């Protein structure tokens, strides 16, 4: 019968002690002691630097992170600053069109004032020399008949260029001729015009006594547009509708003085060909021709509007094809608020170069002054600036009369 044998709990230990002389047992003991020393060292060094018990690679990584931390913080600050700057820049770009237009206009005023100051600093001899050079160059591009002295002409023609709201210059030139050149006006056989020039030309032939009143209407119309956010481009505002009412109020019922004498420059929209109309079947026909000569697509009646139709043909602004009508069979005196080859026009200072370009049958100087004038023709400047254009037109016309020795004015007439 088998006997139950109880095993002592220390039997395994004793057996282990008995076998401690083997190499394997010695190795395990050394490993245990080594691990114990490592734990003791880590425990004892817990008060020391945390990098002492880590590998060199781990320590290097932590040091790198500590070094980059202030740089990253600086970069974050810069990113935040850049983000704020970008936000401010974006918000500054969201300026309304009206504020931008006001800033643009004030810049133009400063430019014009500087240019005017430079012009005033010139001596009379310098101005005279520049005028002679301009007149000699101007006659080279004109018909041969225009080189003949105006005083010897029994008849002549006035040609008024298209110029938008700078038509106040035309009013000034025409007013000067009516006051100081009565005998030369009596020889006036034709008056031609494009766009705004055609409106002034029609008044000169049909209602010369209403020129002063028409000038005030022009100033009021400019003030009206300046009160709008987008000027003539304001949605719901149609410039040609205003012009029709104005022209209808000024033109007389009898238009016979304009027959064969008033030449209105028109542009056939499809063919882009110019047409000078001088015979009008009725008063309404004349008004339609004047409105067509002033019609600028998208500007006059908004986007998508149909151009004026006359005798089944669509017409647009005559300035597109012939902005300064000229004739070879009659002595023509040209008037324009843009400096160039017009006989009565501003004399701009050309300090560095004298470039010219011919656009729509009109030769103009390529300079900053004409660029400013082009902008002001569509987006009217202040009333004071428009009044200065009237005075400039009056002065330039008076100088023209003096040059040709045809000044004739009553005693006490304002110059």
Read off the pLDDT of residues 195-233 as tens digits, 9 standing for 90 and up.
999 999 999 999 999 999 999 999 999 999 999 989 999
* Residues 23-70 pLDDT 10s: 444 455 555 555 555 545 544 444 444 444 455 545 545 554 455 455
Answer yes or no: 317 catalytic: yes
* Residues 168-199 pLDDT 10s: 999 999 999 999 998 889 999 999 999 999 99
pLDDT of residue 101: 65
pTM of the full structure: 0.68
Break the chain into its structural domains and give their ranges: 98-145+157-403
pLDDT of residue 8: 44
* Residues 89-140 pLDDT 10s: 545 555 566 666 667 777 767 766 666 666 666 677 766 666 666 665 666 6
Sign of CA dihedral 351, 354, 358, 361: positive
pLDDT of residue 122: 65
Inform me whether the pLDDT recorded for 333 exceeds 90. yes
pLDDT of residue 341: 86
Residue 193 tokens read as 């015009």
For 205, phi and psi rounded to 5 degrees? -85, -35
Residue 15 tokens read as 């057996």
The one catalytic residue among 159, 317, 339, 348: 317
pLDDT of residue 408: 80
pLDDT of residue 208: 95
Inform me whether the pLDDT recorded for 283 exceeds 90. yes
| Cα-based distances in Å from 240 to 246, 293, 301 | 10, 11, 6
The one catalytic residue among 192, 195, 300, 345: 195
pLDDT averaged over the chain?
A: 79
| Cα–Cα distance, 198 to 192 (Å, whole number) | 7
Q: Output 93 or 165, whichever has higher pLDDT.
A: 165
- Mean pLDDT in residue range 310-317: 95
Instruction: Give the contacts of 173 (CB within 8 A, at least 6 positions apart).
Output: 335, 344, 393, 394, 396, 397
Instruction: Give the contacts of 118 (CB within 8 A, at least 6 positions apart).
Output: 349, 351
- Tell me the H-state helices in 186-330: 196-206, 211-226, 239-250, 283-293
Closest CA to 275 of 251, 287, 292: 292
Contact between residue 193 and residue 159 where contact means Cβ atoms under 8 Å apart: yes
| pLDDT > 70: percent of the chain | 65
| Cα-based distances in Å from 90 to 78, 79, 96 | 18, 16, 13
């Amino acid at each position: 019968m088998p006997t139950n044998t109880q095993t002592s709990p220390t039997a395994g230990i004793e057996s282990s002690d008995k076998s401690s002389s083997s190499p394997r047992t010695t190795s395990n003991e050394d490993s245990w002691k080594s691990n114990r020393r490592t734990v003791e060292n880590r425990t004892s060094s817990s008060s020391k630097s945390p990098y002492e018990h880590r590998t060199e690679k781990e320590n290097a990584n932590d040091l790198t992170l500590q070094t980059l931390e202030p740089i990253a913080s600086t970069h974050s600050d810069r990113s935040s600053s850049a983000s704020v700057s970008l936000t401010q820049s974006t918000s500054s770009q969201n300026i309304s069109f009206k504020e931008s237009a006001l800033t643009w206009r004030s810049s133009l005023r400063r430019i014009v004032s500087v240019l005017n100051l430079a012009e005033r600093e010139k001596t009379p001899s310098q101005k005279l020399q520049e005028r002679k050079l301009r007149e000699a160059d101007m006659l080279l591009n004109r018909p041969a008949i225009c080189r003949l002295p105006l005083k010897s002409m029994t008849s002549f023609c006035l040609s008024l260029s298209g110029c938008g709201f700078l038509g106040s210059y035309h009013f000034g030139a025409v007013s000067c001729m009516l006051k100081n050149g009565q005998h030369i006006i009596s020889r006036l056989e034709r008056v031609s015009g494009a766009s705004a020039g055609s409106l002034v030309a029609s008044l000169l032939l049909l209602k010369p006594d209403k020129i002063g009143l028409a000038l005030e209407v022009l100033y009021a119309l400019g003030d009206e547009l300046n009160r709008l956010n987008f000027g003539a481009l304001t949605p719901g505002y149609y410039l040609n509708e205003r012009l029709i009412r104005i022209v209808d109020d000024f033109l007389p019922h009898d238009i016979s003085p304009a027959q064969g004498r008033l030449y209105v420059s028109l542009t056939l929209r499809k063919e882009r060909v110019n047409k000078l109309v001088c015979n009008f079947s009725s008063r309404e026909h004349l008004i339609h021709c004047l409105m067509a000569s002033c019609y600028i697509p998208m500007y006059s009646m908004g986007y998508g509007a149909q151009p004026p139709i006359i005798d089944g043909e669509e017409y647009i602004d005559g300035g597109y094809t012939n902005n300064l009508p000229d004739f070879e069979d009659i002595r023509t005196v040209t008037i324009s608020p843009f400096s160039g080859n017009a006989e009565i026009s501003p004399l701009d200072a050309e300090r560095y170069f004298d470039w010219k370009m011919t656009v729509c049958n009109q030769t103009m100087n390529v300079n900053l002054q004409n660029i400013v004038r082009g902008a002001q023709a569509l987006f009217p400047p202040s009333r004071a600036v428009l009044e200065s254009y009237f005075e400039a037109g009056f002065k330039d016309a008076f100088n023209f009369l003096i040059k040709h020795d045809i000044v004739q004015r009553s005693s006490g007439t304002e110059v």
